[in-house]
């Protein structure tokens, strides 16, 4: 009789609860994607008409990729996170190496602006393997952190998991010559570990070492610039970017040109901007304005107010991801969402920092706003996984 009562009580308890779904997160994503359509068309229409005879060329590609992304997102919403939990962790990191290795196969990789980022497989659309690698790394470290959470307060628990990460980052750079993607892939797990670790002193020491290395590298570049008599090309392409960051006006004819034009666009926008479609620098001063530098076009056309609205939406998106991560009872599920949260945060902060010349130019896209088929598809896939984790949260029907 008591057993029957327990079963009945459990049934009624579950009967009075329902799965959570974050409609606010979904609405924010839809708003950002739609705003991205508007800004991509505004930023690219002139150049697209000149190059392809179709002012909506880049917009059409973005709409097709986004439509595919929403289909993938919808499918992933209904796939329980336990599916990823059952996959061995080593599988994700092996897949990451295999996906990047596609760029080594002759005849299928595509290079542009000194980097090999894209793969073209027959009639399929070209895609960036590193975007998929970012998701695989999130899933891999979600499993690693979950399995070794008790060791996260030890140096071995903090350092050893980063060894395959360092190897992967180096591999990405050597294969693609894409420094920004390698940095992002390495930053996401480091942030995930920093959030879950309890010993703040160890984490601060690790980050202190990272910043000292970065500061030392900048110092070396400045010294080399001094001995090369200020010729950025005499050092290297990447050193030149650091020098252009420090003195953009000095290198305005080469590496500093993009940054200066972006700053001019931001400054000329004022509080409310020149008006949608009224940007001047997009006509030719900023090449590929619909990509990494699109935030400067937002500032020029919509002003500080428009830029603040975009930053607010991204802040709300990150807040909703925090809500999901904080309310799920499973550590693995929480770490997946935290990884996704870190990915969005890193990309948004780096993109805006590059456009405002706060950090050297690294070629980072702005999620949902910058043109990029693989990028928008994978970001929507990550949102689908986050919403799937949200559905594991049980709330009262009242």
Task: For residue 306, give every residue at least 6 positions away whose Cβ sits within 8 Å of its Cβ, in sequence order, or none.
Answer: 269, 272, 273, 298, 299
Which is more confidently placed, 212 or 391?
Answer: 391
Per-residue pLDDT reduced to its tens digit, 165-212: 888 888 888 888 777 888 889 889 989 988 887 777 878 887 787 777
d(C-alpha 171, C-alpha 167), whole Å: 6
Secondary structure in 3-state letters for 176-233: HCCHHHHHHHHHHHHHHHHHHCCCHHHHHHHHHHHHHHHHHHHHHHHHHHHHCCCCHH
Q: Do 328 and 337 contact (CB within 8 A), yes or no? A: yes
Per DSSP bridges, beta strands 109-112 and 394-396 are unpaired
Per-residue pLDDT reduced to its tens digit, 62-79: 999 999 999 999 999 999
Give the chain's mean pLDDT.
81
d(C-alpha 333, C-alpha 249), whole Å: 47
Residue indicated by tokens 């390698």: 182
Partners of 112 in the β-ladder: 115
What tokens does 320 get?
Answer: 């909703």
Q: Do 116 and 108 contact (CB within 8 A), yes or no? A: no
d(C-alpha 350, C-alpha 364), whole Å: 7
d(C-alpha 295, C-alpha 352), whole Å: 7
Share of the chain above pLDDT 70, in %: 80
Secondary structure in 3-state letters for 1-43: CHHHHHHHHHHHHHHCEEECCCHHHHHHHHHHHHHHHHHHHHH
Q: What pLDDT was estimated at residue 101? A: 86
Work out the angle at residue 302's Cα, subtended by the Cα atoms of residues 297 and 307, and round it to the nearest 5 degrees. Answer: 80
Determine the average pLDDT of the residues in 285-292.
74
Q: Is the pLDDT of residue 10 over 80?
A: no
One DSSP character per residue, 264-285 reads: HHHHHHTTT-S-TT--SGGGTT
d(C-alpha 259, C-alpha 249), whole Å: 9
Q: What pLDDT was estimated at residue 181? A: 84
Q: What pLDDT was estimated at residue 344? A: 96
Q: How far is CA 327 from the centre of its chain?
A: 24
Residue 305: which of 281, 270, 277 has the closest Cα? 270
- Identify the band that residue 234 occupies on the pLDDT scale cut at 50, 70 and 90: very low
Which is more confidently placed, 147 or 32?
Answer: 32
Q: Is the pLDDT of residue 89 over 60?
A: yes
Domain boundaries, the chain: 20-396
Q: What pLDDT was estimated at residue 268? A: 84
| Buried/exposed code over 41-52 (b: 16+ C-beta within 10 A; e: otherwise) | bbbbbbbbeeee
Q: What pLDDT was estimated at residue 114? A: 59
Q: Is the pLDDT of residue 398 over 80?
A: no
Q: Is the pLDDT of residue 235 over 60?
A: no
Q: Do 198 and 153 contact (CB within 8 A), yes or no? A: yes
Question: Three-state DSSP class for 127?
Answer: strand
Q: Is the pLDDT of residue 135 over 90?
A: yes
Partners of 90 in the β-ladder: none
Q: Is the pLDDT of residue 294 over 50?
A: yes
């Amino acid at each position: 009789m008591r057993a029957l009562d327990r079963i009945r009580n459990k049934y009624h308890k579950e009967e009075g609860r329902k799965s959570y779904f974050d409609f606010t997160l979904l609405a924010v994503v839809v708003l950002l994607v739609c705003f991205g359509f508007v800004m991509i068309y505004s930023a690219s229409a002139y150049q697209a008409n000149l190059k392809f005879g179709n002012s909506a060329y880049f917009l059409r590609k973005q709409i097709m990729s986004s439509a595919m992304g929403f289909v993938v997102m919808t499918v992933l919403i209904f796939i329980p996170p336990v599916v990823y939990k059952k996959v061995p962790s080593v599988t994700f990191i092996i897949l990451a190496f295999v996906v990047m290795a596609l760029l080594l196969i002759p005849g299928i990789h595509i290079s542009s602006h000194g980097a090999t980022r894209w793969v073209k497989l027959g009639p399929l659309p070209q895609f960036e393997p590193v975007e998929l690698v970012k998701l695989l790394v999130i899933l891999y470290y979600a499993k690693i952190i979950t399995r070794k959470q008790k060791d996260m307060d030890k140096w071995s628990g903090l350092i050893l998991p980063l060894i395959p990460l360092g190897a992967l980052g180096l591999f990405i750079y050597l294969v693609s010559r894409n420094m920004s993607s390698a940095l992002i892939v390495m930053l996401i797990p480091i942030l995930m570990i920093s959030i879950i670790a309890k010993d703040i002193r160890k984490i601060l020491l690790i980050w202190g070492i990272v910043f000292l290395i970065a500061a030392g590298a900048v110092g070396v570049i400045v010294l080399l610039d001094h001995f090369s008599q200020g010729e950025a090309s005499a050092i290297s392409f990447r050193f030149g970017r650091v020098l252009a960051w420090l003195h953009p006006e000095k290198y305005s004819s080469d590496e500093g040109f993009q940054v200066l034009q972006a700053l001019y666009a931001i400054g000329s926008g004022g509080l409310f901007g020149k008006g949608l479609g009224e940007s001047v620098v997009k006509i030719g001063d900023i090449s590929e304005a619909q990509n990494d530098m699109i935030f400067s076009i937002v500032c020029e056309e919509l002003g500080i107010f428009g830029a603040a609205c975009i930053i607010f939406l991204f802040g709300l998106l990150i807040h909703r991801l925090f809500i999901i991560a904080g309310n799920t009872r499973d550590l693995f599920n929480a770490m997946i969402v935290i990884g996704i949260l870190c990915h969005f945060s890193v990309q948004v902060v780096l993109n805006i920092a590059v456009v405002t010349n706060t950090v050297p130019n690294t070629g980072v896209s702005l999620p949902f706003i910058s043109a990029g088929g693989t990028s928008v598809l994978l970001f929507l896939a990550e949102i689908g996984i986050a919403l799937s984790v949200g559905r594991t949260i049980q709330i009262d029907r009242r």
